[in-house]
Structures are given as structure tokens and as C-alpha cells.
């Protein structure tokens, strides 16, 4: 894996036209295995029934009443097994059909409205300190609107996305892990990346996996508008999604919590995740890179403050900034949560091994042992 922090060229919004691989979503749960097993058991039962019938015919030819009686019992037992196997197949088929109905592409009206509003923004409004404002009335999921629906783009976010797109388009990377200290808006920045992709001349299909929101969204450009379908994450199997088999499409992942494994698929994959190695070490092996998002600066906090719903007074946020740095989530937290964070942060210098690794430039938070 490699680490990229340098700014790269900028992609400018363009008029949209065609799209890669638009069609029905294929992400049914893996109920097919149970159905396949049931059908195999049925075939075995039918074979055994045929053998029992043949044995009965042979017994009748011998005229041995004991053998005939035993063969009849075997035939009856085989018929019962066939009946039970048929019932299992029927139940398995019903489960498969139900699973298909559950994950069958369903247009998500709220997400579709959000997508078209986002795509309609030509250029964001420039604020001080390099902060850009996207005025939105909607958010993709509830957790993304906890501090308001406005999207704020900082220079470090734009540099990170420039680097990610550049490295991928030049064939230098198959997967990108977007890392940085917790609480600085990496997850929210996925909406900025989504905007960049949606406003390309030939927009890709974008699959957006919001693990915290427990949904997967599929953004497709159809009939001169964006249509978004959603699937409950419990029913989501990435390998079954045909869009992710197309290397021209994009797969955006808001990791939230580490998965036991992440699917490695042809689609270009960008994952916003914690610096904790459990979130990304396997993901970037063999063709992945890192891009780094910096913490908030004091000037950026001042510029963004009027557009963050529920924020403490600016003077309080700046006081907190002097104490804990540019973790926006902490700067916006209630008094109880903020005080708790401060106490935990004071433990950082006592973990000498973790401090040594951090000084060497290791970004791993080591399972949450390092807060800063």
C-alpha cells in the first residue's frame, strides 16, 4: 500500500449523459444455498425411492413374502422421504422469493430527492479559510444531518478526493482508504465525493454503503434525472451487485465500524474509515493506498460556525479548540461528553509506546488508545 497526501488536479463539474451498467439491482440474500441443498436432498430421496421400487419388483419375482414385505416398507419409507424433501424445497423456494422481494430494487424517494438536489448545485459558495458551503435541504441518512443539512467542504477534503480520483484514474490504485483522526468529517465528505461523481460528463453508477445508517444506496442516472434505490444492509451482499463488477463504477463506503472483511471487487472503492488498523489494514493490501484528511483549523471552525446547526457559541468552540484541537465532533458535543473526552485525552501522554509510534508518523489509533 502507499500513502498519498499531495494535491492533484481538480475535476470540474460537467453535464451528465450516459452511465455504465444501469439495470436492476442484483443483491439477493444467500438463501439460494438452502434451496440448492433442499433440491439435492430431494433428488437423493427420489433416487432412493426408485431403487426401493426396483427392489420390490425383484422381491415379487422371487415370491419371497418376507422380502416383499420388507421391500414394501422400504418403498413406503422412501415415499415419505420424498414428500418431506418436496416440502423442504417448497419452503426454501418461498424463502428465496421472499428474500428477492425484500431486496428487490425499491426507489427511495427521499434519497432520490436528495440526489437531484445535490446534483443541481453548480458551484458551492466560498467562505473564509478555504471552506466551501453546499446549501442543501436534505441529507442522505439521519446521522448525516445531526449538525444540519448544509455540507461544508474544506481544502484538505478536496485535496484528498483529488488525490483519490487521480490515483485511481491513472491506474495506480484499486482501492483508497480515506483516514484521519476521528470526528473531523470523513464520513460527511463522502457526500462531496458523491457530488463530484454525479456531476461528471459520463457519471458512473455509485453504490453508497452507509453502515451506520444501515442502508445501501444505488445512484443511477436515468431519463435525465438521478434515481436512487436503497437496500437494507442486512440483506446486502456486495458480490451479488452487478454494478460493483464494473470497474468504471464507484463504491463508496462509510465504514463506521470495522467489518470482518471487505469485499474486493472490480468497482473503484473509496472507504472513509478510522485510523484504527482494524478498519483498513486488509482493505489496502495488494493495490490500495491511503489519503489523509487533516483536522480542522481554528480559521475553518470560525468560517463554518454560522452554518452548523446546534453548535455552541463560537467563543466556546474556540476555547475548546485550544484545549483539544480540531476534532469537530468533540467541539460540537454536549458538556458531559466534552468533559469525558478531555479526561480521556489526558491519558494519551501516559501511553509512552503509543506516543512513540505517533511521533514516528503512525496514524493508527491503536483500538482507540490514542485520541489525538
Residues 6+ apart with CB under 8 A from 20: 202, 204, 205, 246, 248, 249
The full set of domain ranges for the chain reads 2-25+106-292, 32-103, 298-359
Q: For the beta carbon of residue 131, count every other beta carbon within 10 angstroms.
A: 23
Using CA atoms, how far apart are residues 149 and 143, in angstroms rounded to an integer?
10
Range in 9-23, 242-256, 308-322, 323-337 with the lowest mean pLDDT: 9-23
Residue 277 pLDDT grade (very low, low, confident, very high; cuts 50, 70, 90): confident
Q: Which of 266, 257, 251 is nearest to 217 (CA)?
A: 251
Using CA atoms, how far apart are residues 152 and 127, in angstroms rounded to an integer?
10
Return the pLDDT at 24. Answer: 45
Residue 275 pLDDT grade (very low, low, confident, very high; cuts 50, 70, 90): confident
Please name every residue paired with 292 in a beta bridge, in sequence order, or none if there are none: 179
pLDDT at 309 over 90: yes
Residue 102 pLDDT grade (very low, low, confident, very high; cuts 50, 70, 90): low
- pLDDT tens digit string along 200-220? 999 999 999 998 889 999 999
Q: For the beta carbon of residue 11, count every other beta carbon within 10 angstroms.
A: 16
User: What's the whole-number mean pLDDT along residues 246-257?
Assistant: 90
Using CA atoms, how far apart are residues 256 and 28, in angstroms rounded to an integer?
23
User: What's the whole-number mean pLDDT along residues 286-315?
Assistant: 94
pLDDT at 76 over 80: yes
Using CA atoms, how far apart are residues 313 and 331, in angstroms rounded to an integer?
10
40 or 319: which carries more pLDDT confidence? 319
Q: Which of 99, 87, 102, 105 is nearest to 45 (CA)?
A: 87
**How would you list the strands of the sheet with 125-126, edge to edge?**
125-126, 132-134, 151-153
Please, how many CA atoms are within 13 Å of residue 46, restricted to the half-sphere of its CB? 8
Using CA atoms, how far apart are residues 24 and 317, in angstroms rounded to an integer?
47
- pLDDT tens digit string along 7-16? 443 333 334 4
Amino acid at each position: 500500500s502507499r500513502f498519498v497526501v499531495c494535491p492533484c488536479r481538480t475535476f470540474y463539474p460537467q453535464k451528465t449523459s450516459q452511465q455504465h451498467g444501469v439495470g436492476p439491482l442484483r443483491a439477493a440474500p444467500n438463501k439460494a444455498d438452502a434451496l440448492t441443498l433442499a433440491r439435492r436432498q430431494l433428488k437423493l430421496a427420489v433416487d432412493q425411492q426408485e431403487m426401493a421400487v426396483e427392489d420390490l419388483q425383484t422381491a415379487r419375482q422371487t415370491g419371497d413374502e418376507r422380502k416383499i414385505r420388507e421391500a414394501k416398507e422400504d418403498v413406503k419409507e422412501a415415499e415419505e422421504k420424498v414428500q418431506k424433501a418436496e416440502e423442504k424445497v417448497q419452503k426454501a423456494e418461498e424463502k428465496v422469493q421472499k428474500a428477492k422481494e425484500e431486496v428487490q430494487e425499491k426507489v427511495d424517494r427521499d434519497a432520490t430527492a436528495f440526489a437531484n438536489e445535490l446534483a443541481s448545485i453548480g458551484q458551492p459558495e466560498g467562505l473564509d479559510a478555504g471552506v466551501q458551503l453546499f446549501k442543501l435541504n436534505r441529507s442522505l441518512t439521519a446521522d448525516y444531518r445531526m449538525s444540519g443539512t448544509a455540507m461544508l467542504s474544506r481544502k484538505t477534503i478536496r485535496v484528498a478526493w483529488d488525490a483519490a480520483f487521480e490515483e485511481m484514474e491513472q491506474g495506480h490504485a484499486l482501492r483508497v482508504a480515506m483516514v484521519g483522526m476521528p470526528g473531523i468529517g470523513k464520513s460527511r465528505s463522502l457526500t462531496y465525493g458523491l457530488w463530484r461523481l454525479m456531476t461528471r460528463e459520463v457519471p458512473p453508477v455509485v453504490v453508497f454503503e452507509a453502515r451506520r445508517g444501515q442502508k445501501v444506496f444505488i445512484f443511477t442516472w436515468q431519463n435525465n434525472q438521478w434515481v436512487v434505490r436503497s437496500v437494507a444492509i442486512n440483506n446486502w451482499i456486495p458480490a451479488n451487485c452487478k454494478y460493483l463488477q464494473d470497474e468504471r463504477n464507484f463504491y463508496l463506503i462509510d465504514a463506521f465500524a470495522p467489518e470482518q472483511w471487505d469485499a474486493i471487487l472490480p468497482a473503484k472503492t473509496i472507504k472513509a474509515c478510522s485510523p484504527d488498523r482494524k478498519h483498513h489494514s486488509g482493505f489496502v493490501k495488494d493495490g490500495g493506498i491511503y489519503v489523509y484528511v487533516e483536522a480542522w483549523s481554528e480559521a475553518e471552525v470560525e468560517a463554518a460556525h454560522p452554518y452548523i446547526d446546534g453548535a455552541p457559541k463560537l467563543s466556546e468552540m474556540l476555547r475548546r479548540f485550544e484545549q483539544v484541537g480540531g476534532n469537530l465532533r468533540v467541539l460540537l458535543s454536549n458538556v458531559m461528553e466534552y468533559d469525558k473526552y478531555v479526561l480521556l485525552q489526558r491519558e494519551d501522554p501516559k501511553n509512552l509506546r503509543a506516543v512513540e509510534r505517533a511521533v514516528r508518523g503512525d496514524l493508527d489509533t491503536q483500538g482507540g488508545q490514542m485520541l489525538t
